[in-house]
Amino acid sequence: MVVGADKFSSIRLKVTDAALNLVMLQVYYEGGEVEDIPVKSELKAGAETRLIAVKGKPLKKVSFTYKTLPNSESDKAHIELWGLK
């Protein structure tokens, strides 16, 4: 869920703790519109996505389709969502 009804021009994701394969994002806007954004990117722990353009409308929530990649400690990936105005 996105806290506050701010408008963002783009978003960026940062991955920590473990690598993952990020497949797709679903961006839900306050007005009910949903946008599917294919990403198809493998990210190592500590890596960030490129800036991902969104429609500049207030966001309600963003969901992720991803798979944590196998690792020796069985760590789970953690994703941070950053919005840029």
Question: Is residue 26 included in any domain, yes or no?
Answer: yes
Question: Is residue 49 included in any domain, yes or no?
Answer: yes
Question: Is residue 41 included in any domain, yes or no?
Answer: yes
Question: Is residue 3 included in any domain, yes or no?
Answer: no
How does pLDDT run along the chain (85 residues), one tens digit per residue? 566 667 889 999 999 988 899 999 999 998 899 999 999 989 998 999 999 999 988 888 999 898 887 776 778 888 899 988 8
17: number of CA atoms within 13 Å, CB side?
9
Q: Residue 6 class from Cβ within 10 Å (0-12 exposed, 13-18 middle, 19+ buried)?
A: exposed
Specify the pLDDT at position 13. 92
Specify the pLDDT at position 85. 84
17: containing domain:
10-70+77-84
Question: Is residue 1 included in any domain, yes or no?
Answer: no
What's this model's pTM, rounded to 2 decimal places?
0.80
Domain count, the chain: 1
User: Distance between alpha carbon 37 and the CA centroid of its chain, in Å?
Assistant: 10
